[in-house]
Amino acid sequence: MVVSCCAFGCTERAVKGGPVTFHCFPKDEERRKIWEIKIHRENFKATKSSRLCSKHFSPDSFDREKFGGTWLKKTAVPTVFNFDKQFVERKITRKPLVRKTPEPEPVIE
């Protein structure tokens, strides 16, 4: 199974031994909702397989061990995003659909 980041516009995919780590959404409902809002995906609901990559967390969101281990703090909230303004502030500028009904043909008697 390919693991990829679910943040809007992010194309990160897991690579074994790569520098980017992937993190599950919190089990705590309140914190999970905050994460879901932060990733800017409309009507998104996290599942067991939803992951967010380490690029969306500030360096102080991690606990680092002497022996090279790195863990996301339980209080971490994703705050680092590079959303393209044109997508975030996108407005639909379609013209309203106007249906034209055909003119009735004259009745010849």
- Cross-strand partners of 62: 72
Whole-angstrom CA distances from 10 to 15, 53, 57, 72 are 15, 9, 13, 19
The Cα 56–Cα 62 span in angstroms is 12
pLDDT at 93: 58
Per-residue pLDDT in tens (0 to 9) along the chain, 109 residues: 789 998 888 888 998 888 888 999 999 999 999 999 888 888 889 999 999 999 999 888 888 776 677 788 888 888 887 755 544 444 555 666 666 777 777 777 7
Q: Where are the domains of the chain?
A: 3-93
pLDDT at 66: 61
Instruction: Report pTM.
Output: 0.67
> Can you count the helices (H) and strands (E) in the chain?
2, 4
